[in-house]
Every structure is written in structure tokens, then in C-alpha cells.
């Protein structure tokens, strides 16, 4: 998909070069110089070609409002239809492995930390109780969100906002932030079920924020859930192998 400005730039340069060939006084170097210095032309020529459907929202030719140019994904607003689709997909997935365990009442203690104010993956892993040496080895990238160990799976129809991970033979960890249109209870229930089936002995907490923490012999899972923007539910997943 090409943006309108890119189409203009691609056709404008050959057209200008054609005029040069017809006897105008403008040299080809002058045309390229104009294209390189004019802000609109320069941006059009240097803008990446949009072949990824996830980037198609950047073509805003007829948009009434402009989305932030560096926004990773278009903003979403939760609707009952989106919530029902995600909830049903999660239910079907969980039922494939048997009855879905009930989400218990919250325990009287506190989860490890309040992750809502943290923005960096290494700080999130350390706050959740992960090893500092593994936190320092984390690599940012959405690729980690598609390589999640079983108990740390993202809920169906989840929209990943941030991801980081490491898998180097010494450290194996994942940190993912995502949005889901289902409510907080549904998100907690999904991750509680995964942790319970992985025998992580999950415990639910309400403070300092809603959370499910699973502590197994070989792995640990920390899931924090809170209200997100646009009626969405924000989920933080922190997983590491011991």
C-alpha cells in the first residue's frame, strides 16, 4: 500500500526529469535536490513502504483526526462484540484441556509490587522477583510475544503493546504488556486457569492491584491486571524459568 504523498513523490520526480529531457534549464541534480530538501517530498521518499496490514492505519488521506505518527498500533476501543469474541475464544481454548477451574477469592496478602507505574521491562522483572542478571539481559521486541511458554500465553484477541525477553541457556524470561476487551475478572480467570494447569499453585491478590501469582518448582508467573484506556483491560505478564 502506498500513501498518497508517496504516490505524488514517485510520479513527481519522473515528471520533472521528463521536463528536463524536453529542454528545460533544470538539471536532474536540481530536481533530486528539491526532492531531498522539500519536507513533504523528503518524508514521502523516505517513508517505509507499507506492506504490513498492521501499518495500514498510517495512510490517513481521508482521516478527520491524525493518529500519532510513531504509534505502534491504531488505538482500540472495547465493545461488547469484541469482548464476547475474545471471551468465547478463551473459553473454547481452555475447554480443550478439560473443565475450567473457578477463579478463587483474593487472598489477604499483597502481590509482589505495583507494576502500573513501571515502564521498562527490566524494572518489571526485578519488581516481580526475577533475577537481576536476567533483567539486564532482556531484549526488547514484539517477537517475544509469539514465543511464550505455555502458562504465560496471551489471551486470544489480545493486542500486544510491549514485549521483551531472553532465552540464552542461563536465563529464560518473558515480559509482555497487552490489552484485551474482556473485563478484569475474565482476564484473571484465563491466566489463573493456565497457571493452575501448569501446577504453579496460583494465588489471587487484590492489592496493590489485581493479580495472579503462580510459583512452581521450575517456573514463576506474575500477572497484573488493571483498567486500560478505551474501556480495555491492561494485562502485564511476567514469566521466568528458575
- The answer to whether 7 and 47 have CB atoms below 8 angstroms apart is no
The CA distance from 151 to 197, in Å, is: 8
What is the reported pLDDT for 43? 52
Over residues 121-128, mean pLDDT: 97
**Bigger pLDDT: 202 vs 7:** 202
| pLDDT higher than 80, residue 161 | yes
What is the reported pLDDT for 39? 55
What is the reported pLDDT for 9? 43
- 158, burial (CB in 10 Å: exposed 0-12, middle 13-18, buried 19+): buried
What is the reported pLDDT for 113? 87
Confidence tier at 109 by pLDDT (50, 70, 90): confident
Instruction: Dihedral sign for Cα 167, 139, 127, 157, please.
Output: negative
Confidence tier at 143 by pLDDT (50, 70, 90): very high
| pLDDT higher than 60, residue 11 | no
Q: How many residues does the chain have?
A: 242
Over residues 228-234, mean pLDDT: 94
The CA distance from 80 to 85, in Å, is: 9
> Is this model's pTM higher than 0.75 or not?
no
Q: State pLDDT tens for residues 164-208.
A: 999 999 999 999 999 999 999 999 999 999 999 999 999 999 999
Q: State pLDDT tens for residues 33-80.
A: 544 455 555 555 555 444 444 444 444 444 444 434 444 555 678 899
Amino acid at each position: 500500500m502506498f500513501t498518497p504523498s508517496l504516490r505524488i513523490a514517485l510520479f513527481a520526480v519522473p515528471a520533472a526529469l521528463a521536463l528536463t529531457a524536453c529542454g528545460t534549464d533544470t538539471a536532474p541534480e536540481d530536481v533530486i535536490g528539491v526532492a531531498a530538501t522539500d519536507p513533504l517530498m523528503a518524508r514521502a521518499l523516505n517513508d517505509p513502504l507499507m506492506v504490513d496490514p498492521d501499518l495500514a492505519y498510517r495512510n490517513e488521506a481521508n482521516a478527520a483526526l491524525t493518529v500519532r505518527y510513531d504509534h505502534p498500533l491504531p488505538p482500540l476501543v472495547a465493545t461488547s462484540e469484541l469482548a464476547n469474541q475474545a471471551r468465547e475464544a478463551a473459553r473454547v481454548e481452555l475447554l480443550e484441556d478439560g473443565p475450567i477451574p473457578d477463579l478463587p477469592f483474593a487472598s489477604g496478602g499483597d502481590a509482589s509490587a505495583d507494576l502500573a507505574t513501571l515502564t521498562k521491562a527490566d524494572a518489571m522483572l526485578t519488581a516481580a522477583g526475577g533475577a537481576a542478571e536476567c533483567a539486564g539481559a532482556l531484549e526488547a521486541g514484539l517477537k517475544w510475544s509469539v514465543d511464550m511458554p505455555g502458562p504465560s500465553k496471551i489471551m486470544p484477541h489480545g493486542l500486544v503493546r510491549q514485549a521483551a525477553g531472553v532465552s540464552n541457556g542461563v536465563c529464560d524470561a518473558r515480559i509482555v504488556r497487552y490489552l484485551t476487551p474482556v473485563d478484569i475478572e475474565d482476564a484473571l480467570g484465563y491466566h489463573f486457569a493456565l497457571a493452575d494447569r501448569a501446577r504453579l499453585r496460583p494465588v489471587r491478590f487484590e492489592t496493590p492491584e489485581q493479580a495472579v501469582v503462580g510459583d512452581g518448582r521450575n517456573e514463576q508467573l506474575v500477572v497484573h491486571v488493571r483498567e486500560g484506556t478505551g474501556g480495555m483491560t491492561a494485562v502485564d505478564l511476567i514469566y521466568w524459568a528458575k
